[in-house]
Amino acid sequence: MDFTGKNIVITGAGAGVGKKAAEKFLEHGARVMINDLREDVLDQAEQYLKAKGEVVSFAADVTDTEAVRAMAQKAIETFGGVDIWLNNAGTAKEVKLFIEQPRENWDFDIGINLIAVLNGCKAILPHFIEKKAGKIVNTVSDAGRVGEFRLAVYSAAKAGVIGFTKALAREVGRYNIMVNCVSLGTTKTENINAMLEMMPGGEEKMAKLYALRRIGEMDDAANALLLMSSDYVTWITGQTLSSSGGFSFVS
């Protein structure tokens, strides 16, 4: 896949899948703006990625509408335009039964997993509509497709993104804008690796949940994001691609 001449914004790219995707986009010729809320993490990621290609960073809270609008404007000014926007930021506050979740946990999960996506789309769409081209890729989870035990609100937020993606694709398709999701299963990020170390049975037990009998690598997730952002995708919109090793099969 060749991304030479493409300008890309990736939220939640200070670490994990977002950082890995940024690395791969850079290796394939793109110019990339990475975002994270944590300035120290973002600075470290930027320094690492500079060896791979042209990268800039923008620290912002993606649940803040005005901050995301400013990020989009900065990317347009820096690169002369944006071609691809990846709403990748997302996490769960706690893994806990819904009945035990305090209200602030709901607000957190909905904010980072759903509101952040709305903010990203709202910020970049005027630019895409003006140029009559653009791709938006939203990172979701199979939890949003089948529901996940002890992740009820997180699952609801991810399901919301999938529904929003379908509706938005209908609205903006006339402008040659494609909006899709990539749905991930358990992926061996820094946080997941730490969780597996504490879990009885660890990775071996978790792998049995997947048809391919292994947990996803960050390369697996990043490659799916690259695919849905690439020029190979020319007549696909409103869809969700699962890169989850067969955790779920959804028709």
In the set 154, 175, 210, 232, the catalytic residue is: 154
Q: Which of 60, 61, 52 is nearest to 19 (CA)?
A: 52
154 is catalytic: yes
Q: Which of 180, 184, 181 is nearest to 234 (CA)?
A: 180
Rg (CA), the chain: 17
For 241, the enclosing helix (H) or strand (E) is: strand 240-243
Strand 55-59 vs strand 84-87: parallel, antiparallel, or unpaired?
Answer: unpaired
36: β partners: 59
Q: Which of 57, 37, 19 is nearest to 139 (CA)?
A: 19
Whether 31 and 6 have beta carbons less than 8 Å apart is answered as: yes
Strand, helix or coil for residue 173: helix
Distance from C-alpha of 5 to C-alpha of 250, rounded to nearest angstrom: 35
179: β partners: 136
Show which residues are catalytic: 154
